[in-house]
């Protein structure tokens, strides 16, 4: 079975409980889940794919249970500081063979790219990534056996920011998506207030459930919504690299 693992927790210090911020009557994380439920409806119906919110054991994360439908998505509580271990524990407990790793901050993560990654994983590749999409839209997937091997000797490590470094780069099958010339001008990830403003504008003005990647990117550029939060890129990467060193 394929598991779509949406990694999220509610302890953010920069933007409190950011996944629960609402637009059009739904929290951000519910919009993200609905995009995947719609795209993979047939696989979910055939029990070939299941969606999880993989969060940490901290009690504050139990708020997810108040807003998410347990019939549509399962909440898994795992390691607080080791995200790949959290994924492994969830996969082994639920008989998941292939994992699609989605950051809960990436509200508009590409479901089209996810389909490409799923195909490659089912063809036998250990780990697959896409590139060429705006930040927050690319997708990574890997099989559970490969994850377990990659985690050997690292289960007690703190693996949060940049934890993809545990994987052997030579094993990665890269899918290059080259038809997005403006991808560097769009920031689609949720860390700051301006990011929330960006997502609110896009979601309130667009059918994000069914829109194609190409139409979504073009609409953002045409309406200049990308300028809402693009100024945060330098601050984001400075903070990312600081956490990586820590």
Per residue in 37-65, pLDDT (tens digit) is: 999 999 999 999 999 999 999 999 999 99
State how far the Cα of 219 lies from the Cα of 215, in Å rounded to an integer. Answer: 6
CA 96 from centroid of its chain's CA atoms: 17
- What integer pLDDT is reported at residue 12 of this predicted model? 74
- What integer pLDDT is reported at residue 117 of this predicted model? 98
- What integer pLDDT is reported at residue 142 of this predicted model? 98
Per residue in 175-231, pLDDT tens?
Answer: 999 877 766 789 999 999 999 999 999 999 999 999 999 999 999 999 999 999 988
State how far the Cα of 231 lies from the Cα of 40, in Å rounded to an integer. Answer: 34
- What integer pLDDT is reported at residue 226 of this predicted model? 95
Mean pLDDT for the chain overall: 92
Relative to beta strand 98-103, strand 140-143 is: antiparallel
Per residue in 124-182, pLDDT tens?
Answer: 999 999 999 999 999 999 999 999 999 999 998 888 878 899 999 999 999 999 877 76
* Mean pLDDT for the stretch of residues 21-32: 97
Which pTM value belongs to this model? 0.92
Domains in the chain, start-ordered, CATH in brackets? 2-179 (3.90.550.10)
- What integer pLDDT is reported at residue 235 of this predicted model? 67
Question: Under a CB-based contact definition with an 8 Å cutoff, are residues 98 and 141 in contact?
Answer: yes
């Amino acid at each position: 079975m394929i598991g779509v693992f949406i990694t999220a927790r509610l302890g953010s210090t920069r933007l409190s409980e950011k996944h629960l911020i609402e637009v059009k009557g739904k929290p951000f994380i519910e919009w993200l889940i609905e995009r995947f439920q719609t795209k993979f409806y047939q696989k979910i119906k055939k029990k070939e794919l299941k969606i999880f919110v993989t969060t940490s054991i901290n009690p504050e994360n139990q708020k997810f249970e108040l807003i998410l439908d347990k019939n549509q998505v399962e909440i898994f509580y795992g390691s607080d500081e080791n995200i790949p271990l959290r994924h492994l524990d969830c996969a082994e407990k639920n008989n998941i063979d292939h994992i699609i790793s989605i950051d809960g901050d990436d509200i508009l993560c590409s479901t089209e790219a996810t389909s490409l990654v799923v195909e490659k994983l089912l063809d036998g590749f250990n780990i697959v990534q896409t590139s060429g999409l705006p930040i927050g839209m690319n997708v990574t997937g890997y099989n559970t056996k490969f994850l377990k091997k990659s985690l050997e000797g690292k289960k007690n490590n703190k693996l949060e920011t940049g934890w993809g470094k545990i994987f052997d780069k030579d094993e990665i099958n890269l899918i290059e998506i080259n038809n997005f010339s403006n991808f560097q001008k769009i920031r689609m990830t949720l860390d700051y207030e301006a990011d929330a403003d960006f997502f609110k504008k896009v979601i309130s003005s667009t059918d994000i459930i069914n829109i194609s990647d190409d139409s979504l990117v073009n609409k953002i550029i045409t309406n200049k919504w990308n300028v809402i939060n693009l100024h945060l890129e330098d601050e984001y990467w400075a903070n990312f690299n600081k956490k990586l060193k820590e």
